[in-house]
Amino acid sequence: MKSRFLVLLISCALPAMTALAQQSTSTSSTQASATGSSGPESIREPLTDPKPINFWDGDDPNVVNLVSHPFARKAWIKRYLAPIRDRLNELDEITSEDATRIKDIDSRAQRGIQLASDKADLANEHASSATTQAEVAHTAATQASARVAGEAQTVSNLDQYRGTAQTEIRFRPGQTDLSKQAKDALDQMAAPLKSQHNYVVEIHGFAPGHGQAAIAASQKMADSVVRYLVETHQVPIYRVFVIAMGNAPLAADPSTSHIGGGRVEISLLKNNLVNTAQR
């Protein structure tokens, strides 16, 4: 009696298990369609009932089959359980594939995010470097502009010479040679010029007489002064400017004439702006 009750219980449970497996299969198929999966594995055929063969396969038991087949056989149970087991294995495979696919997608997303972050960091470094270079270039341009402005100011003032010393050399009538007193005066004026490069010397010769004779005499006296400065103090000849004035009136007193001997005026002109630029 107990064995029959167990058999009846198993026979009632198997159809329920089959329906549950079919429901699970249809649910997994629906989920696969909802997640956008494609391919043959996303569409699963529903489980079908095996074709009835004997009492345990039929819906309406009869006495003959019940007597001839009192117990359910293992082959009958396997025939019902095999499709369920196969479908469960398929579900496990699909779950494993989905997990692998999700893991792969997540890995690619992480790599993409890391690559984008690296590119953003590199772009920030380039922007920072470009900003630094622009600031350096701006500073250099400002300094160059200031330097050019200073040089332009210096160049524009190169011809601005100012008189710093003036010496007068007097000659006796008919003489063009320098006296000891005249040489001492020239030594005192020319000695500091050996270490300087920003000066010019103007020499104006004056002599009594008229016309070309006075001019020639004043030229000879001025040449004596130039010769002494060049030979004794190594004053460059290109820094010396000589003008023979002849019997021209004095600049201080135009009414005064050159009576007696002649005279030579030596003016030392310096450009202090060149000294400032050199320092």
- Cα(87)–Cα(102) distance, integer angstroms: 22
Report strand pairing: 240-246 vs 199-206.
Answer: parallel
Instruction: Find the mean pLDDT for residues 95-109.
Output: 91
Distance CA 98, CA 108 (A): 15
Residue 46 above 80 pLDDT? no
Report field, pTM of the whole predicted structure over 0.85: no
pLDDT tens digits along 138-149: 999 989 888 888
CA distance 264 to 98: 115
Q: Is the dihedral of CA 179, 180, 185, 189 positive or negative?
A: positive
Residue 242's nearest CA partner among 260, 227, 232, 258 is 227
Between CA 267 and CA 189 the distance in angstroms is 10
Quick one: which of 222, 256, 254, 258 has its CA closest to 240? Answer: 222
- The chain-wide mean pLDDT, for the chain, equals 75
Task: Tell me 42's DSSP state.
Answer: G
What is the residue whose two structure tokens read 């008229």? 210
Predicted local distance difference test score (pLDDT) of residue 159? 63
45 pLDDT exceeds 70?
Answer: no
In tens, the pLDDT along 165-223 reads: 788 989 988 888 888 998 999 999 888 888 788 889 999 999 988 889 889 999 999 99
Q: Give residue-wise pLDDT tens across range 150-167.
A: 777 766 666 667 777 788
Give me the half-sphere count of Cα atoms (radius 13 Å) on the Cβ side of residue 220. Answer: 15
